[in-house]
Structure formats: C-alpha cells, structure tokens
Amino acid sequence: MNYFPDHGDDGYQVGRYDLGLDYRVGPNRLAGTARLSATAAGGLDRLALDLGTFRVGKALVDGAPARFRHRRGKLHLTPARPIDSGAEFTVEVRYTGNPSPVPSPWGGLGWEQLTDGSIVAGQPTGAPSWFPCNDRPDDKARYRITVTTASAYEVVANGRLTGRRRTGANTTWVYEQDEPMAPYLASVQIGRYQFLELEGPVPQHVFFPSSAERDVRHDFGRQGAMLSAFTRLFGPYPFGLYTVVVADDELEIPVEAQGMSIFGTNHVDGERGQERLVAHELAHQWFGNSLTVGSWSDIWLHEGFATHAEWLWSEESGGEPAAAHARRWHHRLAGQPQDLVLADPGPGDMFDDRVYKRGALALHALRGVMGDEAFFGALREWTSENRHGTVTTDAFTALADRHAGRSLEAFFTAWLREKELPPLP
C-alpha cells in the first residue's frame, strides 16, 4: 500500500543527484541548483518532481528549457521532446527561497532552522523541503552535495568530505555519497561544532557544541564497541564511515540519515542515560539505510529491527538480557489496544510505539523459535544479500523459513498479519 500517493513518480528512476546549495543562516535563505540523472521506466512526455515552497527560476530537461508548473509540492515538467522508454536523461532545476518543513501528521519534516544553524530531519516525506526529488523510499540514488555558507559554521552532509574551499567570508563544502540513498535519508547539518574522532572498526566522526564536550565524550564512549558488536551480529558495517551530530538545540527525538545520526543536547547527560538511542540510530545504518523498505507499510523492518538492537546491546554490554526487555514490553503491549497490524499499520500509526516494540518482540520471538545460530545467520544473510537495496516483509519471512528449515507461516501470520498480540514462545 502506498501511504503517500502524492509523493514520488514511478515513471523514472534517479541514478544521481548533484545538489549545489548556497545558504545564508541568519535569514534562512537557500539558492539551489539540482541536477538529476535519471532513466525513464516508459515513454515520458511529462514527469513530476517533489519540491516544497520555493520559487523555480528555470527547469531544463536534457539541456533544453522545459515548460513547468509548480503547485502543492509538485513540480510538473514537460520536456521539449518526449523521452523514450529506457532512455537516460537529465533534469536541472534552479530554485530559491526560505526552506521550511513539509507539513505532516507528525509535525514539520525536513529542513528546519535551529537557534544558530539548521537541521534536516527528512523521514518519511521531508526531502522536498530542500531539494527537488523523486520522493519514494525505493528510488535510491548516489549524491553529491555542495554547500556554501558562512565560514563560522561547520557543514556536515552524507558520505565523505571530498572538498572544502574558503572564499572570502564563506566556505564551500563538498560531500560524496557513493552508496545508493533514498531521498528522505539525504541530510545537511549546519552549526558551530567541534570535531571528535572515535576509535572503532570504521571511522566515526562526532560533531558537537563545545559546551557539551565532556558529556558527548562519555555518552558516545562505547559506540566503537557497539559498532563491533553489531558487525558481529548483523554483518559488516555498510558504509565507509559513521557520523554523529549533536545539534546545539533540544530535539524531540534523534534523527536518522544515511551514514549519520543526529541527536539533541537533551540526549546527552554525561551518564549514558540515553545509550539505547545511540544503539537504535546506529542499527538503522543496517536496517533502514542500507536495507530500505520499498513501501512504508513495511516500516517494522526498520523500527522493529532497530529497537531489537537496543535489547541486543543491553545484553552485549552487561545490562539486562534481551529476554527481560521482551517480557516487560510484552506485558505493557498486552494492556494496550489490540488494533494494529504490524506489517501494515497504516499511515496514521506507522510511527506508533507499538510498531517499534511489537516489531522487536516479533524478532525476539523468532530468535527463540529458530535458535541463535539460525537467527543471526539469517540476519547476516539479510544484510548481505540486500546491501544498499530495497526490502519487503515477504522477502524476510521467506529467508527466515529457509534458515529455520521449515515453514514459519503460522508464526509470521500471528505476529505480522493479525492484530491480537501473540504470547511469547
């Protein structure tokens, strides 16, 4: 089921985004040029991009001016010449304005001003708040993100920093995201940050306000060990590096992006009081960012897996075993309304806490049914076979059947397709 039918265009697939952004922090003013390289799924005499409340100055398709109409978050383009089925083509859009979050049932999504800087929190439909895109989770592309802003600020975006050049009072930053990425996971963070590198199996960069240095060093001090544990349990970390940004503001919840997680100063206390969130966001790099759902109805494949990873880290680090977390949450969920289908919760409930916790419970129960060797072997194959790809619930259940050596249809029907909470095995 398509939860957001007004977003995305299935008439083409984007292979690469090249985003050039000039941003002024004080007035929250953005001037952008977006170049997209795409392939037509069928013959196209028109196409649509998702784009928020900007003024579009020019649109080109294959270098030729295209007629365009921009309204209600959609940029409709009519190329000068129709595009053949299977043909590669380019789109260039030049736009200006004040980026603002995209309205949603969960509040504004996307580009948002901080007290001194900006943040991007795009899940699930916030990408059009700052660039024109094909806003579908299954349309994954490579990115180059170039940002010019005042030199007093650090710019952090997805991927690896490949260039930084100061000109006068401004600095231009260039980031390359080599692995395919869904639009909602693209991110730019701007602030007055310090930099710290953590030890671990892959490079880990942390950007944070200087006032929070002591708390940040302590609260993220076990992240390297966490990364090693998850690599053993889930398979190799799927990206070249992992970046954490602690924004100099309070945030309601941490934010995931590809190869990056964003926390607020309220998520660090110097006592590792929110370490489960550190584990949750790190686990999303496997489950959500490398493996991304093709349809939002399968969001338990992101949130259930990341919540289950919190319990696994608790167990790995000498805290409560996963079974204790499972018993406690099963008891809590048993007392809540039994009206949610995990594998298709509906757009209104896709971020309901029951999706997170019941998803984790389903995995814990599956671990009990399969045994550790088969269960973790299945997880490692899941992340390997679908690395940087698109995933579905049906594909996961089929893989689990194979590793279990028998049909688990009754188990999955009870946990994923029916509303009533099953007992723990």
Q: Report the CATH number that the domain containing residue 264 is assigned in CATH.
A: 3.30.2010.30
Q: Which of 133, 162, 189 is a domain's end point?
A: 189
Do 329 and 353 fall within a single domain? yes
Q: How confident is the model at residue 203 (pLDDT cuts 50, 70, 90)?
A: very high
Asked if residue 271 belongs to a known ligand binding site, the reply is no
Asked if residue 303 belongs to a known ligand binding site, the reply is yes
Residues of the chain above pLDDT 90, percent = 99
Q: What pLDDT is stored for residue 361 in this prediction? A: 98
- Contacts of residue 404, defined as CB under 8 A and 6 or more positions apart, other chains included, come to 369, 370, 374, 378
What is the tens place of the pLDDT at every residue in 143-198? 999 999 999 999 999 999 999 999 999 999 999 999 999 999 999 999 999 999 99
The pTM for the full model equals 0.97
Asked if residue 280 belongs to a known ligand binding site, the reply is yes
Which listed residue (175, 184, 242, 356) is catalytic? 356
Separation CA 284–CA 237 (nearest Å) = 11
CA–centroid distance for 404 within its chain: 30
- Helical ranges in 167-320 per DSSP H: 213-219, 223-234, 275-283, 300-316
Sheet holding 260-264, edge to edge: 194-198, 204-208, 242-247, 260-264, 255-257
Do 27 and 155 fall within a single domain? yes
What is the tens place of the pLDDT at every residue in 216-257? 999 999 999 999 999 999 999 999 999 999 999 999 999 999
Q: Which of 189, 206, 230 is a domain's end point?
A: 189
Provide the domain count of the chain.
3
Do 153 and 36 fall within a single domain? yes
What is the tens place of the pLDDT at every residue in 101-123? 999 999 999 999 999 999 999 99
Structure tokens at 187: 């991110």
What is the tens place of the pLDDT at every residue in 23-63? 999 999 999 999 999 999 999 999 999 999 999 999 999 99
Do 202 and 119 fall within a single domain? no
Do 121 and 252 fall within a single domain? no
Do 365 and 403 fall within a single domain? yes
Q: What pLDDT is stored for residue 1 in this prediction? A: 77
Q: Which of 255, 282, 309 is a domain's end point?
A: 282
Separation CA 371–CA 408 (nearest Å) = 13
Is 356 one of the annotated active-site residues of the chain? Answer: yes
Separation CA 268–CA 264 (nearest Å) = 8
Q: Report the CATH number that the domain containing residue 352 is assigned in CATH.
A: 1.10.390.10
Q: What pLDDT is stored for residue 242 in this prediction? A: 98
Decide if 340 is inside a domain: yes
Do 126 and 228 fall within a single domain? no
Which listed residue (154, 275, 281, 316) is catalytic? 281
Do 125 and 182 fall within a single domain? yes
Instruction: Please report where in the chains the tokens 């999303």 appear, as a residue.
Output: 284
Decide if 270 is inside a domain: yes
Half-sphere exposure of 407 (CA within 13 A, CB side): 3
Instruction: Please report where in the chains the tokens 């550790």 appear, as a residue.
Output: 372
401 lies in which domain range?
293-417
